[in-house]
């Protein structure tokens, strides 16, 4: 082979297609970036399935597998980071009663008037004011003791009355955008790196593509390299996010998976979201009254109301039941339990500020998450990629192939 002639022909061909050749690494970089950007968006969007079910269309990986991912997050949080009984121990029952004293007293006055007017209208209207006030004072004197006993029963076996895991999973599944927000927030630097890595890897592979095309001029090279750029850059970028798990020294530099190396920073972001949007006193009360163990809470309130009413009536209880009728007596007590449960969410708001300070959920989560092993910590974000990792990588490869084919058509 006449190398001089061959080299001259290569130079002449380069001169003739200079801008096309120079664009190759740039196009490859754009393919790398676009494929990563598309992969990230496919993780989170769309929230609902778009297309023809079950095969022709797409729904974001996170929204589609919301329950599984929410369960994974809840298991990690409750298994190694947070225990409900530890939270309850941080709350001082005496302080809570003090905070609730005003609302409880006001609620008891409203309840007494409501019961009098509803169940005993004639008797209530004929009753002198001083008698009504005496009845109210007697009821109000009993409230702290009832509330304390109720709290002690719940606090002694938290898992029996509050399913925190159900609360976390149901809220995240109910609001898929919130689950998206959690993962986007804790992994925002990783997703930015993932996209930007496509530029670097794509440009590097584009230079190799340029040399190969100059040497061989084979039409299949362009789509083949496009597919390689999309596939390899996606795969390598994903590995760099999570590998190596343990820090290593290479040429004097500390090397560790980007997400793993940010454990403390991620812990703060994660804790902030959990404390402000999920593990709130309002959500805990909602779970107490509406969760899968709500019937146990109703039974517990019923037990304490019954004990309090029996104690107040004493020996007169049989006479009262006789006068009212047992059915009417039970109806009154059940209505009282129902009204107490209805008032709980509103009255609990009065103690929310104290509860937030006392629970200190954010700092608690941060402290515990910093103690997670790299393997455990990886489980926070990796499922967002792992569930459909090959699908996302393949999409990048297909996109690169199509762009490469377009390049060939433009050059031939």
Q: What is the DSSP secondary structure assignment for residue 372, as one 8-state letter?
A: S
Q: What is the pLDDT of residue 7?
A: 67
What's the pLDDT at 298?
Answer: 74
- Long-range Cβ contact pairs of 178-184 (< 8 A, separation 24 or more): 178/277, 179/62, 179/63, 179/66, 179/69, 179/70, 180/44, 180/47, 180/60, 180/62, 180/63, 181/273, 182/73, 182/270, 182/273, 183/43, 183/44, 183/62, 183/69, 183/381, 183/384, 184/44
DSSP 39-105: HHHHHH--SS-EEETTTEEE--HHHHTHHHHHHHHHHHIIIII--HHHHHHTS-HHHHHHHHHHHHH
From the number of C-beta atoms within 10 Å of its C-beta (0-12, 13-18, 19+), residue 384 rates as buried
Q: Which residues of the chain have pLDDT under 50?
A: 313, 315-317, 319-323
- Both tokens of 153, joined, read 């029963």
Q: What angle do CA 165, 168, 171 make, to 5 degrees?
A: 140
pLDDT number for residue 322: 46
CA distance 381 to 190: 10
d(CA 354, CA 91): 9
CA-to-CA distance for 301 and 334, rounded, in angstroms?
Answer: 10
**Residue 16 token pair:** 């003739």
The tokens for 137 are 């004072």
Q: What is the pTM of this model?
A: 0.71
**The predicted structure's pLDDT at residue 285:** 77
Q: Is residue 347 within 8 Å of residue 277, measured between CB atoms?
A: no
User: Are the C-beta atoms of residues 206 and 66 closer than 8 Å to each other?
Assistant: no
Q: Quote the pLDDT of residue 367.
A: 81
CA atoms lying within 13 Å on the CB side of residue 7: 3
- The pLDDT assigned to 377 comes to 81
Please compute Rg for the chain using Cα positions: 33
CB 229 within 8 A of CB 206: yes
């Amino acid at each position: 082979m006449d190398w001089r002639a061959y080299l001259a022909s290569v130079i002449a061909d380069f001169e003739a297609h200079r801008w096309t050749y120079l664009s190759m690494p740039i196009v490859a970089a754009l393919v790398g970036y676009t494929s990563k950007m598309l992969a990230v968006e496919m993780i989170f969007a769309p929230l609902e399935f778009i297309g023809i079910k079950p095969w022709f269309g797409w729904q974001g990986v996170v929204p589609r597998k919301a329950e599984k991912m929410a369960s994974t997050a809840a298991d990690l949080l409750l298994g190694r980071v947070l225990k409900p009984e530890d939270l309850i121990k941080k709350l001082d029952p005496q302080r809570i009663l003090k905070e609730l004293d005003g609302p409880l007293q006001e609620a008891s006055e409203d309840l007494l008037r409501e019961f009098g007017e509803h169940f005993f209208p004639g008797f209530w209207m004929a009753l002198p004011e001083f008698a009504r006030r005496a009845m109210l004072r007697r009821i109000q004197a009993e409230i702290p003791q009832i509330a304390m006993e109720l709290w002690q029963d719940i606090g002694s076996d938290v898992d029996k009355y509050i399913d925190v895991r159900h609360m976390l999973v149901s809220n995240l599944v109910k609001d898929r955008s919130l689950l998206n927000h959690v993962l986007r927030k804790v992994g925002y630097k990783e997703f930015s790196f993932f996209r930007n890595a496509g530029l670097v890897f794509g440009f590097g592979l584009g230079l190799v593509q340029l040399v190969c095309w100059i040497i061989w001029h084979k039409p299949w090279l362009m789509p083949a390299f496009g597919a390689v750029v999309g596939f390899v850059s996606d795969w390598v970028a994903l590995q760099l996010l999570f590998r190596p798990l343990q820090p290593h020294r290479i040429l004097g530099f500390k090397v560790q998976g980007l997400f793993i190396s940010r454990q403390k920073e991620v812990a703060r972001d994660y804790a902030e979201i959990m404390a402000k949007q999920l593990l709130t006193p309002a959500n805990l009360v909602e779970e107490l009254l509406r969760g899968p163990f709500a019937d146990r809470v109703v039974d517990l309130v019923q037990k304490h109301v019954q004990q309090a009413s029996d104690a107040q009536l004493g020996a007169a209880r049989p006479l009262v039941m006789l006068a009212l009728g047992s059915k009417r007596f039970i109806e009154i007590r059940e209505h009282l339990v129902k009204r107490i449960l209805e008032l709980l969410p509103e009255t609990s708001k009065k103690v929310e500020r104290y509860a937030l300070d006392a629970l200190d959920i954010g700092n608690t989560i941060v402290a515990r998450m910093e103690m997670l092993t790299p393997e455990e910590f990886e489980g926070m974000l990796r499922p967002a990629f792992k569930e459909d990792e090959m699908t996302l990588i393949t999409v990048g490869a297909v996109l690169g192939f199509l762009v490469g084919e377009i390049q060939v058509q433009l050059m031939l």
